[in-house]
Amino acid sequence: MFAELAGGLIAGSLALLADAAHMFSDALSLGVALGAMWLAARPATKKRTFGWQRAEILAALFNGVTLVALAIWIFIEAGQRFADPPDVEGGLVLVVAVLGLAINGIAAWVLSRGEGDSLNVSAALRHVLADILGSLGVIVAAVVILTTGFRLIDPIVSVLIGVLVLASSWSILRDSLQILLESTPEGVDADEIGRAMIGVPGVVEVHDLHVWTITSGFPALAAHVLVGTGDDCHAQRRELEALLAGRFHIDHTTLQVDHQGHERLLQLSAAEGLR
């Protein structure tokens, strides 16, 4: 980052400065991601019964917002340079960009080994992958300047880096906001889950069905289930828990199982579906 910042100022290259700014956001994001993972690993308490697991999602949201802010800055600076493109020292830009590419390649390799289902690590990895493409763009700009003297290539590449940064923020913002708003997890159909629960012999109705995500890879479900008057509530609950874990990979469930005849709030039946 410091090499690209110094090189960009000396060579007059916005593309290098944009990549340096992106690397700064990476360093900040990686620090936030590491801190969030440390918080998420802390045990639950009476005040925070799920612990700090949502810290990872807040860190991912922060990373996405910083990417958007960075892209806006790049667009503003590039617009000014289109009107008056400065002279750029292509040789210095090329050397520094190659160095940045090598460092980003190592960082991406390290992060890809630990990505798994963590939205937090995915956000950090997306930062670095965007930096790799940014470094490649700067290398192309340097080669064009050295071979043709076409100065507008520097703001053009800067805009492309800005678009890349903006695009990489979209999925992170979308996924983190969906989790914070407690939306149904991606790839999970609440109606399908309800129908499967209704299909278990002895289950009469399913009320107040909710499916959400605590943090990356941690789906949760809560529902009120009615069974027949003479059925074993505990046996039905265990069967439903096995169904949810085996078919839908939802291990954290809270099922209130009662016998038929209680007040109805939200009803799901095989014939009518969720309403």
Give the H or E element holding residue 187: none
Q: How many residues are present in the chain?
A: 275
Integer CA distances (angstroms), 230 to 209, 262, 264, in order: 23, 14, 19
pTM of the complete model:
0.70
Q: What is the pLDDT of residue 241?
A: 94
- Give me the domain span that covers residue 228: 190-274
Neighbouring C-beta atoms of residue 207, cutoff 10 Å: 17
Q: Same structural domain for residues 150 and 15?
A: yes
Q: What is the pLDDT of residue 117?
A: 61
Q: Which two tokens stand for residue 140?
A: 């192309």
Q: What is the pLDDT of residue 223?
A: 94
Where in the chain does DSSP place strands (E)?
203-215, 218-227, 252-259, 268-269, 273-274
Instruction: Note whether 224 and 258 are within 8 A (CB).
Output: yes
* CATH assignment of the domain containing 204: 3.30.300.30
Q: Into how many domains does the chain fold?
A: 2
Q: Which two tokens stand for residue 233?
A: 């509530």
Q: What is the pLDDT of residue 85?
A: 79
Q: DSSP states of 138-170 as a string? A: HHHHHHHHHHH--TTHHHHHHHHHHHHHHHHHH
Query: Helix 90-113 vs helix 2-11: angle between axes, to the nearest 10 degrees?
Result: 160
Q: Which two tokens stand for residue 185?
A: 């997890």
User: 121, exposed or middle or buried, with CB in 10 Å at 0-12, 13-18, 19+?
Assistant: buried
- Quick one: which of 17, 14, 36 has its CA closest to 25? 17
DSSP state of 251: -
* CATH assignment of the domain containing 68: 1.20.1510.10
Q: What is the pLDDT of residue 267?
A: 55
pLDDT means over runs of 10, the chain (275 residues): 87 84 76 78 81 82 86 87 82 88 87 69 76 85 88 87 82 86 88 92 90 87 90 90 93 90 54 50
Q: Which two tokens stand for residue 219?
A: 């789906």
Q: Same structural domain for residues 112 and 209?
A: no
Q: Same structural domain for residues 63 and 122?
A: yes
Q: What is the pLDDT of residue 214?
A: 87
Q: Which residues pair with 210 in a beta bridge?
A: 222
Domain-ending residue, one of 148, 180, 212: 180
- Asked whether residue 185 is domain-assigned, the answer is no
The CA distance from 105 to 16, in Å, is 17
The CA distance from 208 to 223, in Å, is 5
